[in-house]
Amino acid sequence: MADMAARGEQPDVLFWVGCAGSFDDRYKKVTIAFVKILNKLGVKFAVLGTEESCTGDPARRAGNEFLFQMLAVQNIEVLNGYGVKKIVTACPHCFNTLANEYPELGGNYEVLHHSQFLQQLINEGRIKLQGGGEFKGKRITYHDSCYLGRANDVYEAPREVLQALDAELVEMKRSRRHGLCCGAGGSQMFKEAEPGTKEVNIERIEEALAASPDVVAVACPFCMVMMTDGVKNKEREADVKVYDLAELIDKSL
């Protein structure tokens, strides 16, 4: 973004990479897949790079309001300094915070989750898939992220992206507004499990596997970790893969 601003240019969209997309080895692959899609389609985008810091979502969920506001104000100053208008992110937690919580601190932007952005590109005919590619005829089940689904009513965009693949979309017993959390939201990702008889992600992966999928599709870095761990727990890594929407589209372009 700094380089683009120095040339007096403005991107069509700012890609907010997020902590997971920057540092988590598994989710870095999603970042790369999404950027490959943007580059293939000639979308003019920028990233903040080292000027981007955590949105503050985990801090606020864990109760540290002071840290949240400190991070938020810092990010808003950077975004407003560059005159950013439109943001796309692959993380529902970043999406929810940027869209719903930054406005009260002076950060007003058009914020899209990458599922919505990909849906728009498909609807505009810019993403043309070659007959479903390696996912043709495969059974795919989609896990609704809490922060995308129940928090923001984004249910159809991810499914429309998946339906663009020539695959069979199968729903879990609990889906859409009845979907079950992966177990990592609300800062649970960063703390030890509480006493109980079963981990939430094991309960959820059992529902996913009951649909007999070849692929479990996710649209959130936390869900990616929990669903992948669930598949490993059930020793099904050989026949059930966990992919983000961006990876599925990138592999099929």
Tens of pLDDT, residues 25-40: 999 999 999 999 999 9
pTM here is: 0.93
Q: What band does 201 get if pLDDT is binned at 50, 70 and 90?
A: confident
Helix (H) or strand (E) holding 95: helix 92-96
Tens of pLDDT, residues 88-133: 999 999 999 999 999 999 999 999 999 999 999 999 989 887 665 7
Q: Tell me the angle at which helices 114-123 and 245-252 cross, rounded to the nearest 10 degrees.
A: 30
Strand segments, DSSP code E, in 18-176 are 45-46, 86-89, 110-113, 139-142, 168-170
Tens of pLDDT, residues 150-163: 999 999 999 999 98
Instruction: Assess whether pLDDT exceeds 70 at residue 223.
Output: yes
